[in-house]
Amino acid sequence: MSTGAVIGPDGLARCPWGLEAESMEDYRRYHDTEWGRPVHGDDALYERMCLEAFQSGLSWLTILRRREGFRAAFADFSIAKVAAFTEADAERLLADPGIIRNRAKITAAIGNARVAAEWAPGELDAFIWSYAPDGPRRAPRSTADVPATTPESTALAKELKKRGFRFVGPTTAYALMQACGLVNDHLANCHTRGAA
């Protein structure tokens, strides 16, 4: 697989993962319309945090294809609603074939909602965005130029854990930062870089 931008069938250059053959349409749509664009709102950021945690150890395609199942199972990722989930809800989730049925990740998602529910409205958004790097970075020319973690993602993960969040290590925190537009890791020649 190429590490630089790749020209798709529509003639547009994209990050190579946005054109993986087996899943081109799913990845291309996510890459072109969502990944790297700023996400705000406590519930929206909570959703992304959960999905990044569930992705740990799996391909992102697995999460993308189950996203609607996750939304249905987790009450559209309403922090207030998920924070009120009971043990019966956790058991229901473990039996739900529309999501990743991992007890530790399900427990973390519910626990993280309970932590976030204690925060003031907008506080989670402001907190996560406070870790966005200052100023623009040099655009990566290839995927080899894209880090797995950064000092900011390490600091974000450390502070989230300190405040009671789980399944938010530095790599997951950096994936969240990439997905939610805190950093722009679209490759320099990628047609969506300027839109992100």
> Catalytic positions, please?
30, 52, 60
- 13 in Cβ contact with 190 (< 8 Å): yes
Q: How far, rounded to the nearest angstrom, does the alpha carbon of residue 77 sit from its chain's CA centroid?
A: 13
Alpha helical stretches, state H, the chain: 24-33, 42-55, 60-73, 79-83, 87-94, 103-117, 123-129, 151-162, 170-179
Q: Following CA atoms 76, 81, 84, 88 in sequence, which dihedral angle do they give, to the nearest 10 degrees? A: -40
Classified as helix, coil or strand, 154 is helix
- 54 in Cβ contact with 85 (< 8 Å): no
Residue 74 and residue 78: Cα distance in Å, rounded? 7
Residues near 101 by beta carbon (within 8 Å), at least 6 away in sequence: 93, 94, 95
